[in-house]
Amino acid sequence: MCGIVGYVGSEPAAHLLIEGLEKLSYRGYDSSGIATLHNRHFHRVRAKGKLEKLKEKLEGQENLATIGIAHTRWATHGMPTEANAHPHQNDKVSLVHNGIIENADSLKKMLLQQGYEFESETDTEVIAHLLHYHLTQGLNPQQALQKLQETLRGAYALGILFAQDLNRIYIMRHGSPLVVGRGETGHFIGSDALALGEWCQQFCYLENGDFGWIEQGRLSLWNEAGEPCERSFQHVSVVSENQSKEGYPYFMAKEIHEQPQVIRQTLSAYLDFETFGIKEDFAALKSQGYKRVQIVGCGTAFLAGRLGKYWLEGIAGLPTSVEIASEFRYCQKPIETDTLYLFISQSGETADTLAAHEIVKAVGAPTGAIVNVPHSTLDREVDLSLYTYAGAEIGVASTKAFTAQLCALYALSLCLAPDHKKLKEHFEVLKSLPGLVQQTVDRIEKEAPRIAMDLAKTEDMLFIGRHTLYPIALEGALKMKELSYVHAEGYGAGELKHGPIALIHAGFPTIALLDESALKEKTLSNVQEVQARGGPLYGLVSEGALTAEQEASFKDILYLPKTSEEVSPFLMTIAVQWLAYFTAMVRGNDIDQPRNLAKSVTVE
C-alpha cells in the first residue's frame, strides 16, 4: 500500500528518496512521486505506473536539494493517474500522505468556498490546501499542524514541506504508522523502517497524535494535546533481507521454495525436538490459564487462524473463535479477560487488525500476536509476540508467511495442551514436516502446470475440502482469485448441497482436497455429486488415499506425498499455491504484484 520516505541532511536527497521508494515497492503501488525543496521552490516529479517511469523522468536532472519527500501511491480516492499521485502541493505546502481522510468532502467544500482549486480527486490535496489556508490566516507551520490535527478525521501519516521552512520536514501521525530514522548524514522518515534500513539503525516510532519536525540533526515532537514530548530512539537492525529473486522468475516462486526452511526455523523457535519439550519463553503462556482463544486477522492470516482453530480445540481443548478484523472491530463482542486474543498478521501493519487489537487492549484483556515483522506496530502494541521466522515476504500473495503462521499455531496448541505427555506423536509428525514439504514443493512445481493450463481457460471454479482441509480450500480460492483473477470459491465439501451445487456445469471445475482422514469417504460422496452433474473434477490427493475406481471420477489428480492427517494441510497449501501461481502465469498476469492489491493494507 502507500509508502512514504523523506530525508533532510547534507546529501542530495533525490537519489536517497528513490532508493527508499524501491525498498517500499513490495507493498504494492500504482504511481509515485517526489518533491524536493530548494530556494523556497518545490521541485516535484510524479509518474503513473512503476517506479521506472519516475526514474525515467528524473534522468539527467541535476537536483542538489538536500531535503525532500517521496511517495508510492495505491489508489483509494481517485484513479491511479499522475494528477492523483503524491506529493500534492500548492505554492506554500507540498506533502505526502498515507491513510484516508474521512471528512475530506466537507473540508473540500469549505476550501472551494474560499476559492481553492483542486487538480486531483484525492483526499490528500485537501490537506495541502487546508494547511495553505491556515498559513494565510497567520499561523506558523507548527500551529497550522495543530489546527489540522483538530480538524482531520480518519487515518493519516504525513510528511510535509513548507516553502518557508527550508530545513525541516514536518511530520504528523494518527492511525497510519510513521517512523523517524537517525542516519549519519541526516534524518529520515518512513512508513516503515524497512525503507530506511540501509542508512539508519536508530528509529523512533511516532505515537498516535504526535506531530513535529525533523531537521538534519534533530527531531522535535508534540503530542496530541500540543505538549512538547520526548520519544526515544531504539536500536533496530533492519536486516537488509535479500530482495533478489535468486534466479527464480518471481519472488513468489522463491518464497514457495523457502517454505521447508521457514517451517524448520519457526517450529524450532518454539519446540525442542530433542526433548519433545516446549521452549521456555513460550511455555510461560501456559500458566496464564486461558479459558478460550479469540483469533483475529485478515485475508490469508485469517485463514491461518481458521486452521489453527482445529488444533487449539483438538489438541489444547480450548474453544476458539476466529473473526475477520474488519468485522471484529465493529461487532461489539464482549471482551473477556480469561480469553487469549490472538492477532495474526504478516506485516503487523494491517489497519483493521490494529484497530481490532486496540479495542481489546482498551479493556485490558491479554493480547498476543503471530507476526512476521519485528518492531511493526502490532509487535510493539501486543503483550506477547510469537514471531514467524519467514523473513521478508515480497510477493503480494502470502505463501511462506502463511505456513509459518500455521507452524506457530500448531506449536501454540501443543504449548497450551493440558497433558504434555501425549504430545510425542505430534513432535514426530512435525519433525518430518520440512522434508515432506520439500518433496511437495518439488513434485507439484513440475505437475501443477498441467492442470493450470485447464484452469486458466475458465472464469469460475470451486475448491472443496473438509475439516482441516476446509481452510485450505478457502486459501486455495483466495490465492486463485488474487493471482489469476479467476473467480474462485472455497467451500466445506458438506455445504455443497446447500446452494453452491447449483453452479456446477461442464465448464465449471471443482478442485477437491482429499487426504487419508476419517472424513475422506464423505468428501468422496460430495465428489460424486459434482460428477453426477457433469462438473469437471480435479483432485489434490494424498498418495494412497484413493482406489482406482475413485480415481476415475477425476479429470486429473495431483498426488501429494503420503502423510498423516496433521501434516496434510501443509502439503495441500503448497499445492494450491503452485496451482494459483501457474494459472496466473498461463494468463500472463503480474505474479508478484497482482492488479489492485497491496502487500500491506494500512487503510481501513
Which positions are catalytic?
2, 599
Identity of the residue, 93 or 301, whose beta carbon is nearer to ligand AGP in the bound complex = 301
> What are the grid coordinates assigned to 405, written together?
503462521
Residue among 326, 346, 385, 526 that touches ligand AGP (CB under 6 A): 346
Is 390 a binder of ligand AGP (CB under 6 A)? Answer: no
Identity of the residue, 27 or 108, whose beta carbon is nearer to ligand AGP in the bound complex = 27
Nearest distance from residue 252's CB to ligand AGP, in Å? 10
Q: Which of these, 352, 247, 225, lies nearest to 297 by C-alpha position?
A: 352
Compute how many other C-beta atoms are within 10 angstroms of the C-beta atom of residue 338.
11
Compute how many other C-beta atoms are within 10 angstroms of the C-beta atom of residue 577.
31
Q: What is the Cα–Cα distance from 295 to 239, expressed in whole angstroms?
A: 29
Nearest distance from residue 325's CB to ligand AGP, in Å? 8
Residue among 85, 127, 301, 580 that touches ligand AGP (CB under 6 A): 301
Residue among 90, 94, 294, 350 that touches ligand AGP (CB under 6 A): 350
Nearest distance from residue 313's CB to ligand AGP, in Å? 23
Compute how many other C-beta atoms are within 10 angstroms of the C-beta atom of residue 454.
16
Identity of the residue, 183 or 368, whose beta carbon is nearer to ligand AGP in the bound complex = 368
Which parts of 455-484 interact with ligand AGP (CB under 6 A)? 482
Is 557 a binder of ligand AGP (CB under 6 A)? Answer: no
Nearest distance from residue 1's CB to ligand AGP, in Å? 9
Residue among 72, 124, 142, 300 that touches ligand AGP (CB under 6 A): 300
Identity of the residue, 315 or 397, whose beta carbon is nearer to ligand AGP in the bound complex = 397
Q: What is the Cα–Cα distance from 290 to 288, expressed in whole angstroms?
A: 6
Please spell the DSSP secondary structure of 437-450, one letter per residue: HHHHHHHHHHHHHH
Nearest distance from residue 353's CB to ligand AGP, in Å? 5
Piece of 295-303, 436-444, 522-530, 532-540 that binds ligand AGP (CB under 6 A): 295-303
Is 95 a binder of ligand AGP (CB under 6 A)? Answer: no
Q: Which residues pair with 95 in a beta bridge?
A: 88, 160
Pairing of strands 200-205, 537-542: unpaired
Nearest distance from residue 352's CB to ligand AGP, in Å? 8
Q: Which residues pair with 202 in a beta bridge?
A: 182, 235
Q: Which residues pair with 512 in a beta bridge?
A: 464, 539
Piece of 42-50, 259-267, 340-348, 585-593 that binds ligand AGP (CB under 6 A): 340-348
Is 397 a binder of ligand AGP (CB under 6 A)? Answer: yes
> What are the grid coordinates assigned to 401, written together?
508467511
Piece of 54-62, 90-98, 106-114, 392-400 that binds ligand AGP (CB under 6 A): 392-400
Alpha carbon distances (Å) from 31 to 27, 97, 192, 312, 590: 12, 13, 18, 43, 16
> What are the grid coordinates assigned to 78, written together?
481517485
> What are the grid coordinates assigned to 209, written together?
497524535
Is 191 a binder of ligand AGP (CB under 6 A)? Answer: no
How many CA atoms does the CB half-sphere of 102 hold within 13 Å? 7
CA 341 to chain centre: 19
Is 353 a binder of ligand AGP (CB under 6 A)? Answer: yes
Piece of 95-103, 345-353, 514-522, 533-541 that binds ligand AGP (CB under 6 A): 345-353
Cβ-based burial of 59 (10 A; exposed 0-12, middle 13-18, buried ≥19): exposed
Nearest distance from residue 420's CB to ligand AGP, in Å? 30
Identity of the residue, 354 or 524, whose beta carbon is nearer to ligand AGP in the bound complex = 354
Identity of the residue, 67 or 480, whose beta carbon is nearer to ligand AGP in the bound complex = 480
Which parts of 479-538 interact with ligand AGP (CB under 6 A)? 482
Is 438 a binder of ligand AGP (CB under 6 A)? Answer: no
Spatial contact of 564 and 585, defined as CB atoms under 8 Å apart? no
Nearest residue by C-beta to ligand AGP? Answer: 299
Piece of 122-130, 396-404, 525-533, 545-553 that binds ligand AGP (CB under 6 A): 396-404
Instruction: Compute φ and ψ for 104, nearest 5 degrees.
Output: -60, -40
Nearest distance from residue 291's CB to ligand AGP, in Å? 26
Pairing of strands 93-101, 169-174: unpaired
Identity of the residue, 444 or 474, whose beta carbon is nearer to ligand AGP in the bound complex = 474
Piece of 82-90, 299-307, 425-433, 452-460 that binds ligand AGP (CB under 6 A): 299-307
Which parts of 575-604 interact with ligand AGP (CB under 6 A)? 597, 600-601
Sequence-separated (6 or more) residues with CB below 8 Å from residue 99:
2, 154, 155, 156, 157, 174, 175, 176, 602, 603
Residue among 14, 194, 219, 298 that touches ligand AGP (CB under 6 A): 298
Residue 297, classed as helix, strand or coil, is strand
Q: Which of these, 68, 50, 96, 65, lies nearest to 7 by C-alpha position?
A: 68
Is 347 a binder of ligand AGP (CB under 6 A)? Answer: yes
Is 396 a binder of ligand AGP (CB under 6 A)? Answer: yes
Torsion of CA 196, 197, 201, 202, to 10 degrees: 30
Q: Which of these, 156, 150, 148, lies nearest to 174 by C-alpha position?
A: 156
Count interface residues toward ligand AGP (CB under 6 A): 16
Nearest distance from residue 28's CB to ligand AGP, in Å? 9
Nearest distance from residue 299's CB to ligand AGP, in Å? 2
Piece of 90-98, 209-217, 391-399, 518-526 that binds ligand AGP (CB under 6 A): 391-399
Identity of the residue, 83 or 597, whose beta carbon is nearer to ligand AGP in the bound complex = 597
Identity of the residue, 178 or 504, whose beta carbon is nearer to ligand AGP in the bound complex = 178
Residue among 345, 583, 589, 593 that touches ligand AGP (CB under 6 A): 345
Residue among 20, 197, 299, 476 that touches ligand AGP (CB under 6 A): 299
Torsion of CA 212, 216, 217, 222, to 10 degrees: 0
Sequence-separated (6 or more) residues with CB below 8 Å from residue 410:
267, 308, 311, 426, 430
Sequence-separated (6 or more) residues with CB below 8 Å from residue 577:
252, 256, 397, 399, 479
Contacts with ligand AGP by CB under 6 A lie at 298-301, 345-347, 350, 353, 396-398, 482, 597, 600-601
